[in-house]
């Protein structure tokens, strides 16, 4: 039995570093995706290989997954298989061939795309009663527990639950999610991605430190998570200036998500959400301290070239910027960004347009 499944990367329109704080976010799936061709095989061995990572097969008995020290890219698909087994699903031997075009390290969630493509393939082949919501849990636990990256649930939710022409309004505290209309083409708009070429890694960056700081701030404020705080002034009670800044970003970012969702749900012109995106970037830069000179330059270049707003997307410490602009603006924005980067002596960024797309699915 052989089939192929695909799962997309994502950009987050607004709501960064809020998911692991029990807060709100608004991601969209993008056309760039990872495909997984699964071939069921006799025996109890799983083999994984990737077009992007040397094409050599890595094989391990399923019974050995819990104790394997295999590192690198293969840990993502193997972690998903391990999580299915932990939950009591009787999965058999298989070959997993991975291919894709989500840029790695660009803040577009290539790792979650790998996990989710593998998850839907294993689900459909061996455990068809597993729901999409449980798939989100399986892939999230694989990344947290098996890979060791302390991320929130946003990336996996987007890759599995998003639908074309919509953004996913996600409440990480409850798992509640709603599809919000986000048909940019009809409005004469496009979402431009500027990949700064400065890769990041959630497992090795200061991402874990930011999560620890948020947890410390929540304890000091007497709440179980920062997402439980609605009043932005509440964070002023924190005496530690670093914790106060981290908490202020999360609480104000939740408010920005609500503001953007209200505008989109009203069915009005989406252009007014642009300045909200830019305010979000300023908060990520100044209060959460996860931006970089390249990300800041890409935001400035985009807004200077006529974008309605721009912000870094993803965990930060590198990666990409998104810009909301009129259709046909990507060339002008790209030229402006490349000029900024050239003056600074940086490698030219990659610029492309994305549209809100469908989540994980079988393709053949």
Helix (H) or strand (E) run with residue 238 in it: none
DSSP 363: -
Where are the domains positioned within the chain? 2-181, 184-354
Residues 246 and 284: beta-carbon distance below 8 Å: no
Backbone angles phi, psi at 171, to 5 degrees: -105, 105
Nearest to 160 by CA among 300, 364, 362: 362
| Residues 362, 363, 364: CA angle, nearest 5 degrees | 100
* Residues facing residue 94 across a β-bridge: 40, 46
Return the CATH fold of 2-181. Answer: Ribosomal Protein S5; domain 2 (3.30.230)
Hey, which residues are catalytic here? Answer: 155
Query: What separation in angstroms does the CA of 25 have from each of 158, 177, 281, 359?
Result: 10, 10, 14, 16
Number of Cβ atoms within 10 Å of the Cβ of 45 = 16
Separation between Cα atoms, residue 113 and residue 130, nearest integer Å: 18
Separation between Cα atoms, residue 313 and residue 280, nearest integer Å: 10
364 residues of the chain, pLDDT tens digit each: 899 999 999 999 999 999 999 999 999 999 999 999 999 999 999 999 999 998 899 999 999 999 999 999 999 999 999 999 999 999 999 999 999 999 888 889 999 999 999 999 999 999 999 999 999 999 999 999 999 988 889 999 999 999 999 999 999 999 999 999 999 999 999 999 999 999 866 555 688 899 999 999 999 999 999 999 999 999 999 999 999 999 999 999 999 999 999 999 999 899 999 999 999 999 999 999 999 999 999 999 999 999 999 999 999 999 999 999 999 999 999 999 999 999 999 999 999 999 999 999 999 9
DSSP-based three-state secondary structure for 261: helix
CATH architecture label of 184-354: 2-Layer Sandwich (3.30)
The sign one gets for the Cα dihedral 289, 295, 300, 303 is: negative
Separation between Cα atoms, residue 75 and residue 46, nearest integer Å: 12
N-to-C CA span, the chain: 12
Nearest to 12 by CA among 193, 176, 140: 193
């Amino acid at each position: 039995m052989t089939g192929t499944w695909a799962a997309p990367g994502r950009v987050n329109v607004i709501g960064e570093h809020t998911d692991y704080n029990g807060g709100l976010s608004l991601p969209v799936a993008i056309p760039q995706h990872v495909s997984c061709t699964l071939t069921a095989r006799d025996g109890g061995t799983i083999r994984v290989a990737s077009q992007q990572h040397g094409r050599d097969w890595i094989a391990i008995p399923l019974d050995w997954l819990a104790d394997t020290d295999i590192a690198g890219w293969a840990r993502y698909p193997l972690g998903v298989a391990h999580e299915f087994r932990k939950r009591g699903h009787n999965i058999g031997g298989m070959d997993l061939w991975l291919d894709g075009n989500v840029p790695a390290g660009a803040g577009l969630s290539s790792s979650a795309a790998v996990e989710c493509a593998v998850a839907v393939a294993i689900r459909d082949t061996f455990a068809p009663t597993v729901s999409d919501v449980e798939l989100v849990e399986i892939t999230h636990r694989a990344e947290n527990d098996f890979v060791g990256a302390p991320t929130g649930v946003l990336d996996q939710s987007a890759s599995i639950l998003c639908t074309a022409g919509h953004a996913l309004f996600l409440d990480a505290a409850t798992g509640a999610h709603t599809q919000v209309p986000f048909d940019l083409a009809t409005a004469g708009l496009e979402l431009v991605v500027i990949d700064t070429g400065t890769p990041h890694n959630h497992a090795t960056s200061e991402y874990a430190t930011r999560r620890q700081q948020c947890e410390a701030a929540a304890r000091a404020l007497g709440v179980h998570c920062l997402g439980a705080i609605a009043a932005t002034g509440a964070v002023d009670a924190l005496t530690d200036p670093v914790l106060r800044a981290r908490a202020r970003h999360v609480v104000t970012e939740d408010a920005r998500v609500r503001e953007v969702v209200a505008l989109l749900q009203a069915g009005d012109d989406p252009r007014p959400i642009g300045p909200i995106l830019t305010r979000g970037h300023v908060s990520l830069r100044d209060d959460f301290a996860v931006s970089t000179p390249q990300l800041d330059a890409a935001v400035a270049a985009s807004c200077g070239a006529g974008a309605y707003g721009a912000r870094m997307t993803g965990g930060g410490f590198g990666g990409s910027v998104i810009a909301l602009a009129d259709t046909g603006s990507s060339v002008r924005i790209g030229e402006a960004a490349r000029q900024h980067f050239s003056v600074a002596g940086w490698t030219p960024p990659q610029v492309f347009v994305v549209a809100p797309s469908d989540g994980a699915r079988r393709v053949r």
